[in-house]
Amino acid sequence: MRAFARRVNSAFSVFPQFTEHFAVKALPNPFILKVLASEGFGADCASLPELMLSREAGITGEAVMFTSNETPAHEYAYAREIGAIINLDDITHIDYLERTSGVPEVISCRYNPGPLKEGNVIIGTPEEAKYGFTKAQLFEGYARLREKGATRFGLHTMVVSNELSADYHVETARLLFELAAELHAEIGIRIEFVNIGGGAGIPYRPEQDELDIEGMATGIRAAYDEIVVPAGLDPLGVHVEWGRIITGPYGWLVTRAIHTKDTYRRYIGVDASMADLMRPGMYGAYHHITVAGKEAAAPTEVYDVVGGLCENNDKFAIQRPLPEIEVGDLLVIHDAGAHGRAMGFNYNGKLRCGELLLRPDATVLPIRRAETVEDYFATLDFEALASFDVPATLDAGAEA
């Protein structure tokens, strides 16, 4: 993970200023944030707890981008308290921010290009997405923010998720560079940085190629020289908010086979569930699976690998060729280091797993314990339950 972080910084060193704001939603653990901060990464936050986690990890000030939507006032207030760059999602939030927290010196706005840019199945098409300003709203919004005291401006977009095409990301940067040049030429707003968002993908399937980040950086730099420099906007910062590509390939969900079942299909029941990794059930996403100790064995069997949730989509793999699996075998589910436990839940009374960090000296550090039944019941008041009186009959006309 740290080696890849250094590779990112090296690839994007071609820009006068570069910041990777790690998407905290991908892996919200302060130990991981502290490791990434040591490599010069900031944080991309979307909620109060994510802001607080970043602060605990020592990431504050303009290293933090706060990109949220339908944001409550107290979250804007906390973002201002730690000096984060607030990235507004809607033109109506300008007055809301001014009333509740005041307009800061540095501010960013999220652009939704609508039909000018294609999305994908995960994030949707831009014109159907709930995020961001239209182009016309951006021009009006920046002018109003300047009138209200803002003096430094950023420009942001995010229109895709898990995209493996370097060209797509280059074209996203080009879109923002051209818009920054228009804003400068038409209303005199000088954009200080552009944030091309997240969406950098990883090859979940063994046959896929990884995203060429070096080629991407080279392509973005070419667009920078073509558009930004002639527009008089050099130096312009280039920011990203990658999560999945930073931690995804470096995390695994390890689960044990506890049951086998042979009906219309052959099933392997494991002690993990969608509560630990929702992506296969939610998106139909592929996660590669290996069986510990049987990595070299031929995939002679075909299984559905399933969890114990009372939902039929609680499946880590469907009709997957795998080596023969026996009760007690450990299954390793790959690429679970982003949007894994972070997307977990407690439906059906399932308890989420812990997290372990493998260190360079081969020691293992627990960085989050597994949930307990006591955690699950922590928000309930059983003492009050003991004295809770349930009427024997309903009042006349009342409904249960």
Helices (H) and strands (E) in the chain — how many of each?
Answer: 12, 16
Six-digit token pair at 335?
């690429």
What is the crossing angle of helices 135-147 and 93-100, to 10°? 30
Average pLDDT over residues 381-395: 90
Average pLDDT over residues 223-232: 99
Q: Quick one: CA torsion of 366, 372, 376, 378, rounded to 10 degrees?
A: -90
Q: How many CB atoms lie within 10 A of CB 75?
A: 21
The secondary structure element, H or E, covering residue 173 is: helix 166-187
Contact 202, 335 (CB under 8 A): yes
At residue 300, does pLDDT exceed 70?
yes
Can you tell me the distance from the alpha carbon of 204 to that of 211, in angstroms, rounded to the nearest whole number? 11
Amino acid letter, residue 280: P
Average pLDDT over residues 139-146: 99
Q: How many CB atoms lie within 10 A of CB 215?
A: 14
Q: In the chain, what is the straight-line distance between the N-terminal and C-terminal CA atoms, in Å?
A: 55
At residue 123, does pLDDT exceed 60?
no
Six-digit token pair at 392?
């024997």
The secondary structure element, H or E, covering residue 32 is: helix 30-37
Amino acid letter, residue 263: T
Q: Give 163's DSSP letter.
A: B
Rg over CA atoms, the chain: 24
The predicted pLDDT at position 396 comes to 61
Contact 303, 294 (CB under 8 A): no
Q: How many CB atoms lie within 10 A of CB 370?
A: 12
Can you tell me the distance from the alpha carbon of 314 to that of 273, in angstroms, rounded to the nearest whole number? 6
What is 2-248's CATH number, 2.40.50.140, 3.20.20.10, 3.40.50.300, 3.30.390.10?
Answer: 3.20.20.10
Can you tell me the distance from the alpha carbon of 16 to that of 257, in angstroms, rounded to the nearest whole number? 51
At residue 122, does pLDDT exceed 50?
no
Can you tell me the distance from the alpha carbon of 299 to that of 307, in angstroms, rounded to the nearest whole number? 21
Residue with tokens 């099933």: 267
At residue 114, does pLDDT exceed 90?
no
Residue with tokens 């009042």: 395
At residue 116, does pLDDT exceed 80?
no
The predicted pLDDT at position 115 comes to 74
The predicted pLDDT at position 128 comes to 63
The predicted pLDDT at position 118 comes to 57
Closest CA to 115 of 105, 126, 124: 126
- Over residues 327-380, the pLDDT tens digits come to 999 999 999 999 999 999 999 999 999 999 999 999 999 999 999 999 999 999
Mean pLDDT of the chain: 95
Average pLDDT over residues 44-61: 99
* DSSP code per residue over 71-138: --HHHHHHHHHTTPEEEESSTTHHHHHHHHT---SEEEEEB--GGGS--BTTTB-GGG-S-SB-HHHH
| pLDDT tier, 280 (very low <50, low <70, confident <90, very high otherwise) | very high
Contact 220, 176 (CB under 8 A): no
Average pLDDT over residues 278-297: 97
Closest CA to 133 of 150, 118, 113: 113
- Range in 112-121, 238-247, 266-275 with the lowest mean pLDDT: 112-121
- CATH code 3.20.20.10 region(s) in the chain: 2-248
Q: If phi over 0 gives left and psi between -120 and 50 gives alpha, with beta otherwise, what is residue 114? A: left
Can you tell me the distance from the alpha carbon of 314 to that of 21, in angstroms, rounded to the nearest whole number? 32
Average pLDDT over residues 159-173: 95
- CATH code 2.40.37.10 region(s) in the chain: 251-349
For domain 251-349, give the CATH superfamily: Lyase, Ornithine Decarboxylase; Chain A, domain 1 (2.40.37.10)
Extended strands (E) in the chain = 18-23, 42-45, 64-67, 85-88, 106-110, 152-156, 191-195, 237-240, 253-262, 266-270, 289-291, 301-306, 315-322, 330-333, 355-358, 364-368
